[in-house]
Amino acid sequence: MSGATAPIRRLLVVTAVDAERAAVAAGLATAPAAPRTTVLAGGVGPAAVAAATATALAGAQAAGEPYQLVVSAGIAGGFAPLAPVGSVAVASAITAADLGAQTPDGFVPVDELGFGTTRHLPPQRLSRAVADGLAAAYGPVLTVSTVTGSAERAAELAGRHPGAVAEAMEGFGVAEAAAAVGVPVLEIRTVSNAVGPRDRAAWRIGEALAALTAAFGKLPAVLGVEAHHG
């Protein structure tokens, strides 16, 4: 899918925790002409959200009301200087950054080992339009099972994934579930902290949640414009 070709009437948004779910729902509540949307807190980590997303997609399909788009959403760490604290990031690629094997020569992604994939690509035209409409950083968003806590790890990830804008823990799981049934997926993140040395005192979770609400207040209009021109 290179872009939206029809209005999005049924939208599934999957977050990790209730605070993110509430922030998304608050934004959608202010948006005129928002599509029918389910906002689900699916749990922390790719396995939990993959299971929750798959269950929601299957239930909607069985009820004869399938979702047309899935969005993985929440707060994240941002790669400086591309995505500073308080900013929005939209994925050009949803990448499982630590799915693979550690070898004496370095990390080898699972797809290079001949098993599965480590990347899902959102519809390029749609994701680019959403990034533009939300004034967001646009680039790969990395899914990790262990959050980065050092400058060395941050540099390693940035080196392996040029242009990466954010790191979170759920996007790849949501994308795997959506891809299994052929539903397009986006990932939208707002930045609470810089990827690097772990410093909870520097995190701005409230600011990132407010940015998430603002982003989802604007999202339906962006989706509507893109569908109109699809």
Q: Could you report the per-residue pLDDT of 6-47, keeping only the tens digit for each?
A: 678 899 999 999 999 999 999 999 998 889 999 999 999 999
Query: Structural domain boundaries of the chain?
Result: 10-228
Instruction: Tell me the one-letter amino acid at 165.
Output: V
How far is Cα 61 from Cα 191, in angstroms, rounded to an integer?
33
What's the number of CA atoms in the CB half-sphere (13 Å) around residue 230? 21
The topology (CATH level 3) of 10-228 is: Rossmann fold (3.40.50)
pLDDT band for position 228 (50/70/90)? very low
What tokens appear for 93 in the block? Answer: 């690629």
Peptide bond connecting 140 to the previous residue in cis, omega within 30 degrees of 0: no
Nearest to 171 by CA among 48, 61, 82: 48
Peptide bond connecting 46 to the previous residue in cis, omega within 30 degrees of 0: no
State pLDDT tens for residues 111-165. Answer: 777 788 889 999 999 999 999 999 999 999 999 999 999 999 999 999 999 999 9
How far is Cα 48 from Cα 54, in angstroms, rounded to an integer?
10
